[in-house]
Amino acid sequence: MSEFFRNRKDEEKELIKKFENHIQGKDFHFFDVEELEKVVELYLDNDKFMKALKASEFAVEQFPFSVELLILNAHVLASNTKYDSALQVLDRAENIQPNDVDLLLTKANVLSISNRNKEAIECLEKALTFAEDKDEVLFQMGMAYQQLGKYEEAIKNYKAVLEENIDHESAIYELAYCLDVTDQLEGSIAYYEKFIDADPYSYHAWYNLGVVLHKLGKYEKAIEAYEYAVAIDENFASAYFNMGNTYSALEKNNKSLDAFSQTLRIEGPSAEVFCRMAETYDKLDQADLAIKYFQKAVKFDSLYDEAYFGMSLCLIQQEKWIEAVHYSKKAIKINKHESKYWQALANAEYQLGNQNSAIDAYEEAVALDPEEVSLFLDWSFIYYESGDLEVAINIIKEGMEDNPDASELYYRMTAYLIEYGKYKEAFIFLENALVLDFEMHTVLYEFFPRVETQKALFKIIDQFRKDNQ
Q: Per residue in 203-239, pLDDT tens?
A: 888 998 999 999 999 999 999 999 999 999 999 999 9
Q: What is residue 301's predicted lDDT score, i.e. its pLDDT?
A: 93
Q: Please, what is the angle between helix 237-249 and helix 271-283, to 10°?
A: 20
Of 18-27, 76-85, 127-136, the range with the lowest mean pLDDT is 18-27
Specify whether the CB–CB gap between 429 and 414 falls below 8 A. Answer: yes
pLDDT at residue 455, as a whole number: 81
**Burial environment of residue 59 by CB neighbours within 10 A (0 to 12, 13 to 18, 19 or more):** buried
The stretch 284-288 carries a mean pLDDT of 94
Among left, alpha and beta (phi > 0; psi -120 to 50; other), residue 142 is: alpha
- Is 226 within 8 Å of 238 (Cβ atoms)? no
Instruction: Look at 352 and 23; give whichever has higher pLDDT.
Output: 352
Map 206-228 to HEC letters.
Answer: HHHHHHHHHHCCCHHHHHHHHHH
Residue 109 has pLDDT above 90, yes or no: no
Distance between CA atoms of residues 307 and 16, nearest Å: 35
How far is the C-alpha of 151 from the C-alpha of 143, rounded, in Å?
9
Distances (CA, A) of 304 to 31, 51, 199, 280, 294: 38, 26, 39, 17, 10
Q: Residue 248 in contact with residue 240, Cβ under 8 Å?
A: no
% of the chain with per-residue pLDDT over 70 = 96
Determine the pLDDT at residue 74. Answer: 83
Helices (H) and strands (E) in the chain, counts: 27, 0
- Residue 422 scores a pLDDT above 80: yes
Angle at CA 45, nearest 5°, toward 43 and 51? 20
Q: Which amino acid is at 26?
A: K
Is the distance from CB of 244 to CB of 219 less than 8 angstroms?
Answer: no
Burial class (CB in 10 A: 0-12, 13-18, 19+), 28: exposed
Angle formed at CA 311 by CA 332 and CA 396, multiple of 5 degrees: 60
Per-residue pLDDT, 73: 82
Pairwise CA distance, residues 137 & 124, whole Å: 6
pLDDT band at 34 (very low <50, low <70, confident <90, very high): confident
Q: What is the mean pLDDT of residues 397-404?
A: 95
Whether the predicted pLDDT of 3 surpasses 60: no
Phi, psi of 3 (to 5 degrees): -60, -35
pLDDT for the residue numbered 4: 47
pLDDT in the model for residue 245: 97
Give the chain's domains with CATH numbers: 184-267 (1.25.40.10), 269-364 (1.25.40.10)
Q: pLDDT value at position 84?
A: 87
User: How far apart are the C-alpha atoms of 457 and 433, rounded to whole Å?
Assistant: 13
Rounded CA separation 2/24 (Å): 33
Neighbouring CB atoms inside 10 A of 188's CB total 22
- Contact of 124 with 144, CB cutoff 8 Å: yes
CB 380 within 8 A of CB 395: yes
pLDDT digits (tens, 9 = 90+) for 324-339: 999 999 999 999 999 9
Assign 1 a pLDDT band (cuts: 50, 70, 90): very low
pLDDT at 254: 97
How does residue 8 score in pLDDT terms, banded at 50, 70 and 90?
low
pLDDT mean over 407-412: 95
For residue 90, the model assigns a pLDDT of 86
Q: Tell me what pLDDT residue 413 has.
A: 95
Mean pLDDT of 254-276: 96
**d(Cα 335, Cα 427) in Å, to the nearest integer?**
42
- Give CA–CA dist 85/384, Å, rounded: 55
Q: Highest-confidence range of 87-91, 118-122, 189-193, 358-362, by mean pLDDT?
A: 358-362
What is the average pLDDT value for the chain, to the nearest integer? 89
What's the rounded Cα separation, in Å, for the pair 278 and 292?
7
Percent of the chain with pLDDT over 90: 54
pLDDT at 29: 67
Give helix 389-402 / helix 373-385 axis angle, nearest 10°: 170
Whether the predicted pLDDT of 196 surpasses 50: yes
| Separation of alpha carbons 15 and 39, rounded Å | 7
Sequence-separated (6 or more) residues with CB below 8 Å from residue 92: 70
39 pLDDT higher than 70: yes
pLDDT top residue among 46 and 254: 254
Question: Per-residue pLDDT for 153 more than 50?
Answer: yes
When pLDDT is averaged across residues 160-186 and rounded to a whole number, the result is: 85
More confident residue, 225 or 66: 225
pTM for the full predicted model: 0.74
Angle at 394 between CA 392 and CA 396, to 5 degrees: 75
Return all residues near 6 (Cβ < 8 A) that are at least 6 apart: none
- pLDDT per position as a tens digit, 237-256: 999 999 999 999 999 999 99
